[in-house]
A = this chain, B = another copy of it.
Amino acid sequence: MLNDADDAFLSGLRETLPEAAFRETTELYTRESRDRWRGRGHVVAPGSAEEVAEVVRACAEARVPIVPFGGGTGLVGGQLSGEGAVPVILTLERMTRIREVRPEENVLIADGGAVLADIHSAAEEADRLFPLSLASEGTARIGGLLATNAGGLNVLRYGNARALCLGVEAVTAEGRVWHGLNRLRKDNTGYDLRDLIIGSEGTLGIITGAALRLFPRPAAYGTAMLAVPSPDAAVELLGMAGRRLGETISGFELMHRQGLDFLAETGPEVTPPFAETPDWMVLVEIGTPPGMAPDEALEELFAEAAEAELVTDGVIARSEAQRAALWSVRESIPEANRRIGSISSHDISVPISSIPDFIVEGGKRLGRLGNLRINCFGHLGDGNLHYNVFPARGESRDDHKDIRDEVKRTVHDLVHEMQGSVSAEHGVGRLKVDDLERYADPEKLRMMRAIKSALDPQGILNPGAVLAADQGQR
């Protein structure tokens, strides 16, 4: 059993930490961005890895739970605890330094609380690229991005957050600092604890620093919006693009016309790329080294794809403004979704070759549940779709509360049948603990519990996230 972070506990903490470490528990720390959950707790903001370790040691001794808090942009409730003992909400907002930039090694070392946009700027100043790219870059912190193994727009080329990290500094559940800030490309000395902590959503350790991989900035970018006759054609186009353009492809985003209809219906206002919006579109982006002309490469791809009847129309951006306009269509879709209000939204992945079948079969099964609108879009190149289900025009999500669970179950069961994942990039958090229990391989779950129990035997680190709160103790 865990204990509340009560007044006695907090006064004890005030004796070891400076005044600056104590923050008011405002809505920032307790309210989910879409207002789906509420959390509670007492906010503590240590100023160094050693201070994080002190907080954890105090919590370990008093058996007080800790909820690590990054930028608060998570979509599965991993940063919000509304049940069980009242936790310490541990934020790294006072640890935001870029510690070192080493362009000659393509390495940047940052505090766990460094904001993604600041990391981007520091990399750019050194003429390098840190490719992790997602909408919340102005708020999300690198510790949280690694703890949740964030994905985003550049995964196809550069991998997810995990692939962009060489080493971490982390505080264990015993309150000790593991100095794992490796700057090496190759190191085969012992178990891969870095990748175990990454993606563990704060349940195995707290990431206080990270050594990140930088990349040369492409000399030029090329961006095209292509109309495709079907998801099948989009998958074939992806293969053709891979053969022609190799690893220069950094984005391959599928969109259904539903997203553009939503934008027309509710805004935000965007310039539609086609006079007549096709059913399916793909946004392709390449970043090329010197000596390769991106527009020509995209034109050649378009010509070959048109010949093979894989595309029916296309727009290649001729200026930075056109490029921004094409991307703003893709990037405005989540906001339009929010304005319409989904009954249920899903962050799923299936093997790439199964995507067309998934889309057909998903539509069929959901059709049996009612008159629903589906907005399916996302990172086709990674097999990762955002598959969101909405009421018919004129109806509201609240009219469909009764089928919400069935919608979710229908989608997730189909994903599971197709050997996919019910959380491709958002993580498990508290929202998908039951899904993990339902769909995960039993041996995987058993090993996860054994590891949780071995590294955090009291279960004080983010209890209730990833695994049910009691499972570390089984």
Chain A residues with a Cβ under 8 A of chain B? 102-107, 148-149, 151, 155-156, 159-160, 162-163, 172, 176-180, 182-193, 195-196, 198-200, 204, 216, 218, 235-236, 239, 242-248, 288-293, 296-297, 300, 349-353, 379, 381-384, 419-428, 432, 435-436, 439-441, 443-448, 450-451, 453-455, 466
Contact = CB atoms under 8 A, between A and B. Distances in A.
B447 A178 contact: yes
Given A176-B443, A180-B444, A247-B247, A186 B349 contact: yes
Contact of A184 (B235, B245, B421): B421
Max count, chain B CB within 10 A of own CB: residue among A246, A381, A423, A446:
A246
Contacts of A454: 450-451, 453-454
Contacts of A216: 242-243, 246
Contacts of A292: 289, 291-292
Give 8 closest A-B pairs by Cβ, nearest first.
Answer: A454-B454, A246-B289, A195-B195, A187-B421, A178-B443, A186-B424, A450-B454, A185-B382
A297 B296 CA distance: 18
B443 A172 contact: yes
A448 B190 contact: yes
Given A349-B186, A353-B102, A178 B441 contact: yes
Contacts of A160: 186
Contacts of A444: 178, 180, 190, 193
A376 to B, nearest CB: 16
A444 B445 CA distance: 23
A355 to B, nearest CB: 10
A421 B297 CA distance: 41
Q: Is the interface of A mostly helix, strand, loop or mixed?
A: mixed
7 contacts: A107-B351, A156-B185, A180-B444, A184-B350, A189-B440, A193-B444, A291-B292
A441 B194 CA distance: 13
B244 A184 contact: no
Contact of A421 (B155, B172, B186, B436): B186
A199 B194 CA distance: 12
Contact of A244 (B178, B246, B290, B439): B290
B184 A451 contact: no
Given A105-B351, A190-B440, 16 more contacts: A104-B239, A104-B352, A151-B186, A156-B185, A172-B446, A172-B447, A178-B447, A180-B444, A183-B419, A185-B383, A185-B384, A188-B426, A189-B439, A193-B444, A244-B291, A451-B451
A420 B195 CA distance: 19
A106 B242 contact: yes
A183 B439 CA distance: 16
A457 to B, nearest CB: 9
A329 to B, nearest CB: 22
A467 to B, nearest CB: 8
B448 A191 contact: yes
A15 to B, nearest CB: 25
A447 B193 contact: yes
B105 A352 contact: yes
A296 B353 CA distance: 37
A422 to B, nearest CB: 6
Contact of A428 (B155, B183, B190, B453): B190
Nearest to A157: B247
